[in-house]
Structure 1
């Protein structure tokens, strides 16, 4: 203890379960038990926290006071503290009741008493080991030597270390703090909407290649992929632009990122956690949130509140056997005296992956570079400025084709730049919190492909370039009239634009002569402007009931230039013989929508909550659907007169949070009116080519359930499982909707123990199953069910010589090298199988 009677304990963002409330990363605790949070305000510390070493298991003891989950909820609401995200950051109020003072250690605790998994109930664990069949000795050595050395080292270490059981006496589990479900900090246990979180600990343990891979364990979330890298999520049967993906709470959605939002536009090494809200959220977030919201939250800036400048370096590496993929990241965090920044540099290089039969999937490679930078400046106790830059350059991303012999099919660049400024203020007269943000994101993608025809003696050389951008501004205000009420309101303004060019040249196989050339703009020079204003009131009634009511109004305008589609024909000597042109004429359009949400949480007991929501959602047609003119063998054209999609959702669930059991299950019904799809037209747009048009075709309904649970059998052994089921139907015809995942789930066990204060280690085994999809949509085929087995193991060490926060992990996915296809790749199911056995090793350390 220093002369001033103060002890500093590291509470870095990566070690905080209840991350942030903007406590200093170097939290100062005085001899009298007083802590100082951001802004210098004292936080009484009436209870003690127990930690099992830096970076390891953490727990919190409440002493003689038995604090209910509802009390924690109120404490968070009243004190106006928030997590370290771009969505929400607040300072502690100087006035505090005795109850709030007693709860202060809860808000400061970085983890719960029992945390064998380090993740939320909705993220199951999977485990795997390396394939042992290969005829090339050198390749076997490359593929297996590193994983076997890692595994041998882990076994050697844990075999000589004593096992220490977790102490679960007289402790309470504190659920994750989330911000996406209500636009403010709240425990996931206390929010009405179904929420899942993939936290930083889980991301480090599983070492996913992308944000899409990280979501693979969340019940109710499925993925539609084009190869390994281009992906879009499906939540409860709704996918594509019906799921809104946010980056640090901002709508960085432009034309293409909205269509495949989980393409690796962001380095997974920069992500702190991913929050998933299942079900319509348009009352808070506007268009595209029909199926739900995925908020990818990046790591916060450390050390800004330190009295002196501090620096920390972090190195992260990963190797995957299935595609011989390498990943490396260097990160520098620095700050002090009110200023801080985080800088990350990374690169990834992956070859084509192998399927379960050992065959290489052509054009499934990937290569990119990434730079991300975040900075903040505390200009005063209650005022903060933030800035962020992210530059992601995908230099080569393969796109698998039906003919596996296609010489090339790839994006030779797919570059993204994101630039942000923000202001956050606290205790400004009437307003407890003000958040203002500006952002700009641009993307430039260029595709080149050699595409053999499956039925004709020709091949196509296709090139296109699509440029898109989005600029936005938002303001959010928070007012807390009393300890039991919180009001949030604000507005968003986003402008999107696009431009593109495409050329397709069809050559004859026999002599490579030109047969036909098509030139057009797949999307025109177009823009869409979106304005939304929203408000939400949350009030706690008595000790058991919390009600949430919210509403939003959105207004859209869209405009595009006319597009000319040109078809040129050539004779056997590549001489031009005819030219045909057709003009697709577009018009200005506008849409508006009002949406609402009503939610409740009823505390049956301190550990058991009933939840329910009733709400509406909507999705305005995007630029593709209104203004596209694209294709080759088939033409797709947009319709400016499309109506928005509307949905009405009902959700009911139960959540449990006990010392040895945690879980929840939700049932849902979602009705979608004016569902948009493509329909073949009687007349061809040009040259007799089959033509499909975007149309409001049907009224749909989706219903089902999803849930997850984990049970602590012993101090070290946890069982866990998830399940998800959804049915999607056309309400008029009774036909099933396309791209609906079958019944699926996971079941597994995890052993985690501490060996003194030196390290924590874990072993995890799980199986993932997908039932047969025997109710396909028209035009789809039935797909077989499948199951895969996975293994995970690793260790964490708080210190190792000059290093700290060391983590070594070994994961084996698809343990038995099973060959299978996903139903959600149905359009490609005859030529894109899933990856085979994949051995993943990862290492992370700081210094």
Structure 2
């Protein structure tokens, strides 16, 4: 056990996601009273009908029900979303099959400033306990947050910098929960107090402690168990007890965690704008599930990660008084991050250090005859260093400057928009120790991305949309400069400093149909990639040659970053229908389906792609109570790369009940959720660790949320 821690198109949604209005972001109660199809609210109110790409919002009661320790697991039941599931403490979102450096995870519009994009064993430094609203923006809509967001954006909105003066002079939200699968205990609270008419102070904090996760079957998958038993028969005198590994069941060893956070903020809020700042601290200690040896000669470790981040945020907005510009917005953050990868004896094996600065300014135009828009600039800087025996990267710096503009037009049932982004990226590898493995120098990239789309209301409540995009992404430092063993993924990773920019074309069609008692949101997309960057397992001699100048041995399988053509296509459908109203209870049925198919042309399927999934639910909703039962079936994944194993299908049954005990107080609720009721053995195809770390077994979660 661990001891210690609607405008109308894609680009519009991105520009406005930085700042939801107080009505949307103030409290869970406010979110519940907001229509579910509102995506973002500034500079112009956006209805889901008007958005030209798949978009989801998680807030209020639904956020209470889906809340998990990681942002990946919290969002995993939304359309088009899966999770990396590298154990219960390191699970990053996967959007339409994209992960890593092709999606961005943001806090109120600014990056999380961690190293979660560099490896799946690195946790996202965002605490869902303090989230008030989460927006998931998929496809080309996300490009205004950077070219690395080609897969999409997850934007977590909290209240750390106040947006509104509390009506009664103060505001408090608190949450406490217990989950049986890991004996998970968590509490969180956030409060605002107005010390003058215009000055609001904020404080928040959270704490979580969890034991090793209970699972629904064996730790090892059937294929890994067979391999371990064969190894036991082949090498009975090996010091590793392969047979014992094959027999492990019931608990996921080395998966306990302890995390705490604290933050303070202040904002000066007037009728003409606001200016606020905050400081936050994040501290976590969590275990990474053991990747067991399944053949003679392999090693197995039980590493733990000690994570620490200190972060400063700034947000400002000023109204210009009309004319051409309506308002100007500023958002910035700086963070210092480090994590230690601890060996079984507690010694630091490898240390990761990251300092990041990100800021953006936006100029929002006033509406003139159906025409409005926004333009702005974004800056990003990262200083990243890995120190230790398993350092697989040289010290490196990344600098990005982006310029973007969006222009949109509306006339009756017709809505259109176009936007472009230019970005210059400079990546420098510093090799002060002259390690012969590493590149020493600078690469620079200029990228241009844009989209053009339109939608048309073909009937009352029914709208069709089509969007086309052209995107370019600069390679990341990991893709360019990696040359070393990475214990977290059990791979020797080899980059290529001569990579070109990754380019893609994309088409997406959407259908939104909303009416009295029903809703349907569907999207279908196709992406063509040139110079697509991916990891490919190659012969050991490739990595041995790369490591030879340093005299290091290659103990892990060799994975080399490569460029090729690739194709992604898929769909998402999310529909609901009111079946009846009985005694004030609205009986609703809903269904969700998503699918993505990804191929490296003339090579193989793209590895770790989620398979087809269907999720259906039946829910009774009242003014103060709601009850839900749902069934999720995830199909078998046989489209795999040569070094992967197939993933078995699974079906989970979940149920929940929510009660608001006080009439007229929507901000206080009790939620009880039973997940994986039948204790099935479930493994995500997108997880690197799927053969060694299944999902949680039966889990009963009780959550109390209080608002005053």
The TM-score normalised by the length of structure 2 is: 0.84
Q: Retained in 1: the 8 A contact 2:162–2:267?
A: no
Residue of 569, 586, 597 corresponding to 1:727: 597
Q: Retained in 2: the 8 A contact 1:244–1:258?
A: no
**For residues 233 and 262 of structure 1, do their structure 2 counterparts lie closer, same or farther at Cα, with a shift above 3 Å needed?**
farther
Q: Partners in 2 of 1:283 and 1:83 — Cα distance?
A: 10
| TM-superposition CA deviations, 1:261-303 (whole Å, max 9, x none) | 9935122121111111121346422221121111111137669
**For residues 469 and 184 of structure 1, do their structure 2 counterparts lie closer, same or farther at Cα, with a shift above 3 Å needed?**
farther
| TM-superposition CA deviations, 1:669-704 (whole Å, max 9, x none) | 011221212343533522463784643331100111
Partner residue of 1:776?
Answer: 640
Partner residue of 1:655?
Answer: 512
Residue of 237, 262, 280 corresponding to 1:371: 262
Of 423-432 and 482-491, more deviation after overlay is shown by: 423-432
Residue of 574, 582, 595 corresponding to 2:449: 595
| TM-superposition CA deviations, 1:787-810 (whole Å, max 9, x none) | 00001002013459xx98321111
2:104 is the alignment partner of 1:239: no
Residue of 317, 337, 342 corresponding to 1:443: 337
Partner residue of 1:637?
Answer: 494
Q: Partners in 2 of 1:786 and 1:792 — Cα distance?
A: 20
**For residues 689 and 461 of structure 1, do their structure 2 counterparts lie closer, same or farther at Cα, with a shift above 3 Å needed?**
farther
2:197 is the alignment partner of 1:333: no
Residue of 647, 664, 668 corresponding to 1:806: 668
How many angstroms does 1:334 deviate by?
A: 1.4
The TM-score normalised by the length of structure 1 is: 0.71
Partner residue of 1:555?
Answer: 424
| TM-superposition CA deviations, 1:159-193 (whole Å, max 9, x none) | xxxxxxxxxxxxxx6722326xx986412221112
The unaligned stretches of length 5 or more in structure 1 are 1-72, 91-105, 121-172, 452-459, 504-519, 566-580, 755-759
**For residues 598 and 804 of structure 1, do their structure 2 counterparts lie closer, same or farther at Cα, with a shift above 3 Å needed?**
closer
Q: Partners in 2 of 1:761 and 1:323 — Cα distance?
A: 27
Supply the RMSD in Å over aligned alpha carbons: 3.4
How many angstroms does 1:260 deviate by?
A: 5.0
Partner residue of 1:622?
Answer: 476
Q: Partners in 1 of 2:546 and 2:568 — Cα distance?
A: 33
Partner residue of 2:350?
Answer: 464
| TM-superposition CA deviations, 1:40-61 (whole Å, max 9, x none) | xxxxxxxxxxxxxxxxxxxxxx
Where 2:479 maps in the other structure, the secondary structure is helix
2:690 is the alignment partner of 1:824: no
Q: Retained in 2: the 8 A contact 1:745–1:769?
A: yes
2:521 is the alignment partner of 1:664: yes
Where 1:828 maps in the other structure, the secondary structure is coil
How many angstroms does 1:88 deviate by?
A: 5.4
Q: Partners in 2 of 1:119 and 1:247 — Cα distance?
A: 23
Partner residue of 2:89?
Answer: 229
Partner residue of 1:15?
Answer: none
Q: Partners in 1 of 2:366 and 2:156 — Cα distance?
A: 27
How many angstroms does 1:110 deviate by?
A: 11
Q: Partners in 2 of 1:669 and 1:804 — Cα distance?
A: 42
2:438 is the alignment partner of 1:584: yes
Where 1:647 maps in the other structure, the secondary structure is strand
Q: Partners in 1 of 2:694 and 2:36 — Cα distance?
A: 41
Q: Retained in 2: the 8 A contact 1:200–1:271?
A: no
Of 610-619 and 296-305, more deviation after overlay is shown by: 296-305
Q: Partners in 1 of 2:325 and 2:593 — Cα distance?
A: 42
Q: Retained in 2: the 8 A contact 1:229–1:264?
A: no
Q: Retained in 1: the 8 A contact 2:475–2:501?
A: yes
How many angstroms does 1:544 deviate by?
A: 0.4
Bigger Rg, which one: 1
How many angstroms does 1:246 deviate by?
A: 1.7
Q: Partners in 2 of 1:109 and 1:828 — Cα distance?
A: 38
Aligned ranges 1:292-691 → 2 under 5 Å: 292-299=152-159, 304-305=164-165, 310-335=169-194, 336-357=196-217, 359-378=250-269, 380-403=270-293, 408-411=302-305, 413-428=306-321, 430-450=324-344, 463-503=349-389, 521-541=391-411, 543-562=412-431, 582-631=436-485, 635-679=492-536, 680=538, 682=542, 683-686=545-548, 687=551, 689=554
**For residues 469 and 214 of structure 1, do their structure 2 counterparts lie closer, same or farther at Cα, with a shift above 3 Å needed?**
same
**For residues 678 and 692 of structure 1, do their structure 2 counterparts lie closer, same or farther at Cα, with a shift above 3 Å needed?**
farther
Q: Partners in 1 of 2:432 and 2:289 — Cα distance?
A: 27
How many angstroms does 1:443 deviate by?
A: 1.1
How many angstroms does 1:408 deviate by?
A: 3.7
How many angstroms does 1:208 deviate by?
A: 2.5
Q: Retained in 2: the 8 A contact 1:728–1:736?
A: yes
Where 1:203 maps in the other structure, the secondary structure is helix
Partner residue of 2:140?
Answer: 280
Aligned ranges 1:10-409 → 2 under 5 Å: 73=6, 86-87=18-19, 175-178=37-40, 185-253=45-113, 255-257=115-117, 259=119, 263-281=123-141, 283-299=143-159, 304-305=164-165, 310-335=169-194, 336-357=196-217, 359-378=250-269, 380-403=270-293, 408-409=302-303
Q: Partners in 2 of 1:789 and 1:623 — Cα distance?
A: 42
Where 2:661 maps in the other structure, the secondary structure is strand
Q: Partners in 2 of 1:622 and 1:317 — Cα distance?
A: 39
The unaligned stretches of length 5 or more in structure 2 are 1-5, 218-248
2:562 is the alignment partner of 1:696: yes
Q: Retained in 2: the 8 A contact 1:280–1:291?
A: yes
Q: Partners in 2 of 1:481 and 1:629 — Cα distance?
A: 52
Partner residue of 1:154?
Answer: none
2:684 is the alignment partner of 1:794: no
2:700 is the alignment partner of 1:839: yes
**For residues 261 and 616 of structure 1, do their structure 2 counterparts lie closer, same or farther at Cα, with a shift above 3 Å needed?**
farther
Q: Retained in 1: the 8 A contact 2:114–2:124?
A: no
How many angstroms does 1:549 deviate by?
A: 0.2
Q: Partners in 1 of 2:134 and 2:600 — Cα distance?
A: 32
How many angstroms does 1:383 deviate by?
A: 2.6
How many angstroms does 1:198 deviate by?
A: 0.8
How many angstroms does 1:587 deviate by?
A: 1.7
How many angstroms does 1:483 deviate by?
A: 4.1
Q: Partners in 2 of 1:819 and 1:260 — Cα distance?
A: 21
Would you say how many aligned residue pairs link Structure 1 and Structure 2? 648
Q: Retained in 2: the 8 A contact 1:370–1:391?
A: yes
